[in-house]
Structure 1
Amino acid sequence: MKVGIHPVSRPVVFRDRAADATFLTSSTASSATTIVWEDGNTYPLIDVEVSSAGHPFYTGTARVVDSAGRVERFERRYGRTPSTA
């Protein structure tokens, strides 16, 4: 790795307000706001819209859209075309 071209990585706290969850991880992101973490140290705080704590895919609350019946509805509406095989 070349010296002096990579951004500085440091501990940062990410907060998902919708899920009321916080994560301490390493990041190059910066922030003007800070938070005192559970270990007593102060870290930069970054608020995020979506995280794994609140995303439906990761929490298992994803809704399955029922796509069955679309072909049948199309065929009822426009009729079935004869196959050319």
Structure 2
Amino acid sequence: MEKIRFQLADGTVEEFFIEEQTRIGGVSYLLVSDSMEDEASAYILKDVSKDTDPEACYEMLEDEDELQAVYKVFEQMLEDVDFEM
């Protein structure tokens, strides 16, 4: 499974496992988990990079309405997987 390194606001770096990815309205989203164990926490990351950026830049998705909408898309994509957000 592919991993992504993510720098938190306090400067620490975390590694997440990429579970799934999708593109909605021209915006890329990643569904990631912090572990491959059954009790892993899941997060949705949003690509906020510009076309001129040399690499993708992701932020934790925090807008509640957008989070719920994207979560529903991932939920449909992974019907057989039980994620808790």
Is this a same-fold pair by TM over 0.5?
Answer: no
Relative contact order higher in (CA < 8 Å, ≥ 6 apart): 1
Instruction: With the length of structure 2 as denominator, give the TM-score of the two structures.
Output: 0.19
Higher gyration radius (CA): 1
Structure (1 or 2) with the greater strand fraction: 2
TM-score calculated relative to the size of structure 1: 0.19
